[in-house]
Copies of this chain bind each other. A is one copy, B any other.
């Protein structure tokens, strides 16, 4: 029997509540498989920072790295909390982990499930994946300011893009596209303005495309892409894009497909050299924390991505199907607690197995 070591980071706000349901589902879906999940919980986030002053220590990183995968709820304290001023937990922790563990693929599927209400009148059949670069671009922390606080201040931010970094994520995106029915890959960038970074991305996409003759490739400027997200989202199959554009587009993708309550993500190191991390796209929502009001679906769908990443594709499919079933049965009138949603999905999973 295979043992999977899972680092669990419940985090702040609604994080612990949604993670509890995700872990529950993980247990249920693997119960009959030859798999043992061994979880270690890491108390990281705003609460931990307030207690110890640490966001992510070398010891944390070393211990987390011992695991096969990471499941994260959400991190971030109450906005405006004076004790967190200047701390930036999200950046220190999320970006800290993504960079330290070389999560160069940030995978964010966007599906409008049957029964889910989209804010769009006529979205059509929407089922695409955004492959967002995770370790480069404007996220590298390569900025600075001079004459800070004076009328002569200059503050710069540098977007760093390397052939090495772009090629590996582009290749991953082509693999994803090739494995899908439509085999269609869209590069999103702003090549007409960011000419150096844009030219690198475009050239690498062109080069790698030669190795994937079955994949059809097109290109959209990021501004134009947002238009298609609301007027014709079903045109997309796989999108590959830079770290910042991917950040923006995936929140928009979540919004059109029923909200960030349903959006899952994987921060993946495809080489396996470091554990990959799975997390809902939503934040810690301190305003509704501890009240069983949060929807755990995004966390549960992140478990499906985790299972898929670990090669447990059958279990991943079962989680996805159970979530789809649950979404199709939802009614506006019945409001369920976080745990009730988790339980319902577990029941649907178990029913399926028995049938």
Contact = CB atoms under 8 A, between A and B. Distances in A.
Interface of A: 88, 90-91, 95, 118-122, 138-139, 141, 143-145, 147, 149-164, 167, 190, 192-197, 199-200, 203, 222-224, 226-227, 229-231, 244, 247-252, 254-256, 259-260
B227 A139 contact: no
Given A143-B197, A155-B200, 20 more contacts: A91-B195, A95-B193, A120-B230, A138-B159, A141-B195, A147-B163, A150-B163, A152-B162, A155-B199, A156-B159, A156-B161, A157-B161, A158-B159, A193-B247, A223-B247, A224-B251, A226-B248, A226-B249, A227-B260, A229-B252
A157 B159 contact: yes
Contacts of A197: 143, 155-157
B156 A158 contact: yes
Contacts of A244: 190, 193
B153 A119 contact: no
Given A91-B192, A223-B248, A159 B161 contact: no
Contacts of A195: 88, 91, 141, 143
Contacts of A121: 118-121
A256 B149 CA distance: 38
A158 B142 CA distance: 10
B248 A248 contact: yes
Given A154-B160, A159-B156, A203-B149, A90 B192 contact: yes
Contact of A194 (B147, B154, B157): B157
Contacts of A158: 156-159
22 contacts: A90-B192, A91-B192, A120-B120, A121-B121, A138-B138, A138-B193, A138-B194, A141-B195, A143-B197, A153-B163, A154-B160, A154-B162, A155-B200, A157-B194, A158-B159, A223-B248, A223-B252, A227-B251, A227-B252, A227-B255, A231-B255, A248-B248
B88 A139 contact: no
Interface centre among A144, A222, A248, A254 (most CB of B within 10 A): A248
A162 B156 CA distance: 9
Contacts of A229: 252, 255
Contacts of A260: 227
Contacts of A230: 119-120, 230, 252, 255-256
Contacts of A152: 162-164
Given A119-B121, A230-B230, A200 B91 contact: no
Contacts of A156: 158-161, 196-197
A149 B161 CA distance: 13
A118 B227 CA distance: 12
A252 B226 CA distance: 5
Contacts of A248: 222-223, 226, 248
Nearest to A243: B193
Nearest to A162: B154
A91 to B, nearest CB: 5
Contacts of A118: 121
Nearest to A194: B157
A233 B118 CA distance: 15
A295 B266 CA distance: 43
Nearest to A76: B192
